[in-house]
Structure 1
């Protein structure tokens, strides 16, 4: 047994040494690809973002950061580890411009395309999804750094377990931008209270034995998630809600698991010392590694300049929702809220004609894969079942989403799948209300976009929209909060029923709040304050 372990250790050390020694060859190949003739002063920042081409709020943060680095750090090469193999570098840059109006230079941007992204998809792990995705992310990180080792590794999508692999294999500094903790104390509380959610099925919630088993599983996962986060040298988060959770996770301890973990630590400690002091390190940085005690809030940027130019008056009786078609966004609640509104206030069942007449709900969002496409089809069927129907569905990016088109005078729902930035601006210029129904939305960049564009925001009373975004401005409200379809329906009715002067004042306050707090400049100042540059 001892001989086998010794042999495996020797093989592992040999592999890691070979990986680190290959670092210079990888750099030379990269600089040659980019046409860089004097690479000695260049540094490489690697962004781990397997879904960089998805077009959501998390992707906007990634590209805003890359754009900022390109404009302010000419000697830094941004490398994005992506699983979007179906798109070229030029196509991704073009989509970023179309979706976010962010301009990227191809000269200091490189992509490392990954083959194993399927291992971080929830469909791959129907059971023990959190564990499966986390182990899959470690494998994906190995695939990433085996192709190119950066000077600084930054995860911008939320795969903290990759920090184990990157730290052990490369020794480079690690940073993180956390949109949403993989697990939180709220999730533990929901399991303990046996509440049914999209992450806790009714079969488990209704069983005391299964609930206790899942609670233990979550405790163990939380313990190791905290260990992973402590590998980072700096952590940025997108809201006070996320900061509170991440800070509590960084300080998390479990006496029982600590005791069980102690023998393993005795075995691992010599291995850590070997990795730290014997193997060649890729990074020349001599700054002592420190575990962050707390996270820094760096709110995502929003293109408030363009959106704040949109007119505040003459808005149509249109409610829009801008978010990816993911289960946690809870689009069914939006359809049920519309159904509730039409049932309680039948005057809104009139044909939609714009400023007067009936109400229309437009669902705008990105579809990433077959799972999202199936959800869209399910939402279309739900709209039919609720007797609110579907007016129009169209897909601008994915030919696989060539849905049939529907047109009827009494239809009140419209889908805009993968709509580009100019199309989204058109909806923002016309609509009266912006809707967000996700529970514990970590930030809510869509809510910021609503407010900057002059819409009246209505969000779930939790997370970032409650604590950071839809908050009083000059002591006056900037929008509405709700908790279920019935209260969302009432909030929509209140927003549509406001006297003209009060409505205009509310839109003005919401816009002022968004422009002042969530501008591109504020994001860049926060990114700079994180201290990321010192780790190069």
Structure 2
């Protein structure tokens, strides 16, 4: 059996190396299944690619770039636009990025990429998503297709790292947005705390809690081993950096804040007198975003808020589960008697989000242990005062000074902060303006240009060595 396994692995390695020879040694591939999704992770991908192309042009380097991603077809079936053209048009619309040189797209099959989603695994989600999903992705990239000699993985699929290094012989650069498992997750299970990753049935049963702690500990050990294989791991925040160094065991680990569309949001910013009393939350309708806390906090603050105050929840709806969560929010708002003061905007455009943030009074965020929280930067850039959760990258990297915004944990703390900020806009607009000025200055270090320059500096050793 062992001999057979070795023969299979050797055959796979030979096949991967043979196919990789189709590319020049300096060819760079970006591995990012949802390249057209338009989120913060996708911004990292496209700003990084744009930065490398401009660096190549400055150095006189000729290089091919390949993007391994899902296929994005035009919605209009009669459109003459190809999938490649449509994806590039999406990127230009989403991020105002027009690439300097052409890139090659290799489209991943949906039958394979579906295994990268946690929704595909009702049980043992972490284990199966990581190993089966990673193995499926490696097969699609390196065996069904030809993998590039240099791979930049910008999502965070850890099992693909040892496969790319050991079997395909690639140089691997990882941009890690968050650790898959953390000591905080294990501790919550240990003390029986109910959360979106720890169901009530497990939290209340000592035997199940013990079994899940063992499961997390074993998985953490396996996760540590995967961290050794990338040539360099870039992390998006101090929180992620700290956890990666203690859990992921990377050989080289460097913090690199993700890029933010500072200019786009700043263009919509209004002074206090032209702002309304809307409290706006931006974030996908996922359990960890904790929208229910927003409703409870807003309800508690209502008697002390201006009569026209409203809570506006803006978020993406990806599937039936997300739609169900939106329905639950409407039902909860009705239970609290605030349904007329609550608006839910689904799948709003970037322009609509900018417009809302440019004239609202508060930018609201309630996710615990957010690895970074780029939406807080968008709040600061748009000139509304951010009110975020006192944890994770939000506390360590973004609202790391009380002069930049407000932090809270409980519904009572959120309600008190809502009241204070609304009163500030009406009664002390000069103080509100000072918050805006400090926020505007703070976000400059997170713009596209800063990320592009630093990213090229950090990966040059690996990208320009060939």
Unaligned runs of 5+ in 1: 28-39, 252-290, 351-357, 390-410
Q: Secondary structure at the match of 2:64?
A: strand
**Which residue is equivalent to 1:400?**
none
SS in 1 for 2:30: strand
Does residue 1:58 correspond to 2:41, yes or no? yes
Quick check: 1:43 aligned with 2:26? yes
How many matched pairs? Answer: 444
Contact conserved, 2:51 with 2:456, CA < 8 A, in 1?
A: no
Match of 2:130 in 1: 134
Cα pair 2:115 2:129 within 8 Å, conserved: yes
8 Å contact from structure 1 (residues 55, 366) kept in 2: no
Alignment-derived partner of residue 381 in structure 1: 331
C-alpha separation in 2, matches of 1:96 and 1:375: 29
Relative to structure 1, the CA distance from residue 85 to residue 520 in structure 2 (aligned partners, 3 Å threshold; closer, same or farther) is closer
The alpha-carbon deviation at position 105 of structure 1 amounts to 5.2
Alignment of 1:523 with 2:451, yes or no, is: yes
What is the CA deviation profile of residues 212-248 of structure 1, one whole-angstrom value per residue up to 9, with x for unaligned ones? 1111110111111111011011011111111111111
Q: Tell me how large the CA RMSD over aligned residues is.
A: 2.1
- What is the CA deviation profile of residues 93-145 of structure 1, one whole-angstrom value per residue up to 9, with x for unaligned ones? 22223333333357125243233122122221111110011022221222122
Once residues 234 and 18 of structure 1 are traced to their aligned partners in structure 2, the CA distance between those partners, rounded to angstroms, is 25
Question: Does the CA-based 8 Å contact 1:179-1:238 persist in structure 2?
Answer: yes
| Equivalence map 1:286-435=2 (5 Å) | 292-293=251-252, 295-309=253-267, 310-313=269-272, 314-342=274-302, 344-345=303-304, 348=306, 350=307, 358-389=308-339, 411-435=340-364
1:156-175 alignment runs, 5 A limit: 156-175=154-173
Please tell me whether residue 104 in structure 1 is matched to residue 131 in structure 2: no
TM-score (norm 2): 0.89
How far apart are the structure 2 equivalents of 1:508 and 1:112?
44
Q: Equivalent of 2:368, from 408, 429, 439?
A: 439
CA distance in 2, matches of 1:104, 1:365: 28
Larger radius of gyration: 1
Asked whether the 8 Å contact 2:29–2:148 carries over to 1, the reply is: yes
- What secondary structure sits across from 1:496 in the alignment? helix
Residue of structure 1 equivalent to 2:67: 80
Query: TM-score, with normalisation over the residues of structure 1?
Result: 0.78
Deviation at 1:20, TM superposition (A): 1.9
- Tell me, in whole angstroms, the C-alpha distance in 1 between the residues paired with 2:233 and 2:135: 19
Q: Provide the residue aligned with 2:84 in structure 1.
A: 89
Pairing 1:164-243 to 2, within 5 Å after superposition: 164-243=162-241
Deviation at 1:198, TM superposition (A): 0.6
Q: Structure 1 CA distance, aligned partners of 2:51 and 2:319?
A: 29
What does residue 279 of structure 1 align with? Answer: none
Q: Check the 8 A contact 2:53/2:101 in 1, yes or no.
A: no
- Of the structure 1 ranges 436-445 and 312-321, higher mean CA displacement relative to structure 2 is found in 312-321
- 3-state SS of paired residue (2:279): strand
**CA distance in structure 1 between the partners assigned to 2:431 and 2:353 by the alignment:** 26
